[in-house]
């Protein structure tokens, strides 16, 4: 779904870096079409394994406390697109981990839909709030970048969804927008533009979530170094969505914050992410890079 929208990202990138020459703009157009061909389209629906998960070793017939309701909202990353077994779904991994940490049953309900943007959070949130859960996870943002949804609008929509859920007594954790600059099938310099825009969105999402009492996990800062150095292992066959190992790494980052959000984390202290994103800082030369790109391609057309 994101791959279909890569062509639109060219216009976003042009606006965000102050404009490109016609030659460089044409280069980005060609690169976006190439990325679409390489990534392709997913025709498979993600697996679904909603239900109640129990701590290991507890007999199902044994009397237990009432399950803790856990909802998952968002896009394909929340839905777990690309895994081959239900046990590999991020929602299932987290429900299982929560059951172990809380020593209580967890009732998982997945509302995430492949292709969702932050505009899709309103109906998902409405569905969640019919029976407000104790805990909710939101993973959203990549489709906002590629569909040209303005950063401010995207962050505002997320803020409204989190406010509605926290107001109903739900503890909300948000995994902020991943770093699209780690997607190898997107060639340079389009990948740099995508990365810069996604990191800007992640920062705005974090501020919006924290304003209304939610808890943000900066997935780009936490995961990008690993995905950049271990792409074969952590990306799935389409080289775009995570593999089972990639989803596992993400859920390992999310589980402590989910437990902490309801006061149930007893492991090592949950680290407080830096206010300035290391991933954003690493991309500050982008504007200078685009200027060099214009100069380089301008010279080539003159010869």
Q: Cα separation of 93 and 136, whole Å?
A: 14
> Pick the catalytic residue: 16, 21, 238, 252?
238
Active site residue 34: no
> Pick the catalytic residue: 76, 116, 192, 198?
76
- Record the tokens describing residue 102, joined without a space: 């809380």
Supply the DSSP string of 32-64, one letter for each residue: HHHHHHHH----PPPP---EEE--TT--TTS--
Diameter of the chain measured on Cα atoms: 80
CA angle centred on 159, ends 212 and 94, rounded to 5° = 85
Active site residue 238: yes
The SS3 of residue 188 is: coil
Active site residue 116: no
Radius of gyration of the chain (CA): 20
Which residues 6+ apart lie within 8 Å of 85 measured at CB? 47, 244
> Pick the catalytic residue: 111, 118, 221, 241?
241
Number of Cα atoms under 13 Å in the Cβ half of residue 262: 20
- Record the tokens describing residue 142, joined without a space: 């990549």
- Which residues are marked as active site? 76, 238, 241
């Amino acid at each position: 779904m994101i791959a279909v929208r890569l062509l639109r990202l060219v216009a976003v990138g042009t606006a965000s870096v102050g404009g490109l020459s016609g030659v460089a703009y044409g280069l980005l157009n060609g690169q976006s079409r190439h990325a679409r061909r390489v990534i392709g389209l997913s025709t498979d629906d993600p697996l679904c394994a909603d239900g109640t998960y129990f701590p290991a070793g507890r007999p199902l017939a044994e009397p237990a406390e009432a399950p803790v309701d856990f909802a998952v909202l968002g896009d394909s990353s929340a839905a777990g697109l690309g895994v081959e077994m239900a046990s590999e779904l991020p929602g299932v991994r987290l429900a299982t981990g929560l059951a172990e940490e809380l020593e209580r049953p967890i009732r998982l309900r997945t509302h995430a839909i492949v292709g969702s943007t932050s505009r899709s959070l309103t109906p998902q949130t409405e569905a969640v709030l019919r029976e407000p859960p104790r805990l909710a996870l939101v993973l959203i943002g990549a489709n906002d970048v590629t569909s040209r949804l303005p950063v401010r609008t995207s962050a505002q929509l997320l803020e409204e969804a989190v406010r509605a859920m926290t107001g109903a007594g739900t503890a909300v954790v948000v995994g902020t927008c991943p770093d699209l600059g780690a997607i190898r099938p997107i060639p340079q310099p389009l990948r740099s533009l995508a990365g810069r825009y996604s990191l800007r969105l992640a920062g705005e999402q974090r501020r919006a979530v924290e304003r209304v009492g939610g808890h943000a996990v900066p997935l780009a800062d936490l995961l990008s170094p690993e995905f950049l150095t271990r792409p074969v292992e952590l990306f799935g066959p389409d080289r775009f969505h995570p593999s089972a190992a990639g989803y596992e790494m993400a859920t390992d980052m999310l589980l402590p914050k989910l437990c902490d959000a309801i006061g149930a984390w007893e492991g090592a202290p949950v680290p407080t992410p830096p206010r300035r994103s290391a991933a954003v800082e690493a991309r500050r030369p982008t504007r200078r890079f685009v200027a060099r790109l214009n100069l380089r391609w301008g010279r080539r057309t003159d010869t």
